[in-house]
Structure 1
Amino acid sequence: MWKSIFKSNIIVALIFSVCLWFGFSIPALALGGIQPTLNEPAPEFSLPSNGGNGEVSLDDFRGKWVVVYFYPQDFTPGCTLEAQRFQRDLAEYEKRNTQIVGISVDDVQSHEDFCDSEGLKFPLLADTDGKVSKAYGSWLTGRSLRHTYIVNPEGVLVAKFLGVRPVIHSQEVLATLDELQVS
């Protein structure tokens, strides 16, 4: 009996590891918080940022659309691809009056190195204790999950993406912004 339980736990751990490695999140496993509700005020945050900008708060972007994306770790393949795609499309986001903000548990120095390495021109915030990740339901065993949220200019959460595929994600977010900004 114990062998059976042990084997099933190993299988679950392997499946979860493969999902994280390839950039898929499993929303049901977001154990460290409850997903925020759409059409309600987005959870506030104030976190240290790369680039010597001090603390960055959601309130700093009032009057703009904000894409808040959570990711597991700097310099990993899926996270690098996702950040590169957001950077590639940054001019399109700016045309839509939209700020990109990345959040992970990595510290400010890691974010600084990651931005330098990838040429990223948007802020990455250090949620080293996971408090903000938990507030957004994007937390699992010491890491942020790969989730993205869109906050409107009034600070209301209007869209969320829980099954993120880094290679196409930025284009999905832009399409959703277009739909939201027309309505």
Structure 2
Amino acid sequence: MRWTKIGFEIPSSYIHQNKSFIVCFWHGRLMMMPYAWAHAQKRPFHMLISGHRDGKLISKVISYCGIKTIEGSSTHEGSVALKQMVRILKNKGTVGITPDGPKGPCYKVKMGIVMASYLTQSDILPATFSVSSSKILRSWDRFLWAFPSKKGILIWGEPISAPKNKDPETFEKVRLCVENELLRLKNFADKSMENSS
């Protein structure tokens, strides 16, 4: 497959500066995202995955890509998973989150990623992919199943700065920024592949 890669200088810059960051992408775009990380850098990567049966299956699959998992949810401030994420990020690591997972609603960012960003002052880097031959499954996350394709696109979007204050208005503003950027990237990627067919 011939990949078009956009924005890969963004994570590279953070890594070069030894800065932690949070990678985020829609749950339905999980299939090829380990490939995007492999293209970006060899830096250790931890992915937040639910403890449910499908989450355990995903954990096993991505382990073959060298990606470690954090089991649980970032929704609650005192959760074990959130504490693990904070520890990794404060040690200049990288954590991946599907902010509409594990059960949706689809394309709606939850506050967990904003809380993790605030607690560690780590910026959020949105990402996505699309391919020229695919099918949208009838799942809650509208999972994009990628068939063997001639072309694909991997995109890193604009970084979203960590909130400096914990007030609800600031958190909601950041949450909306993440949601809007992820939607923009998804739409751009899909349109690019439609036009390339």
- TM-score, normalised relative to structure 2: 0.31
- TM-score, normalised relative to structure 1: 0.32
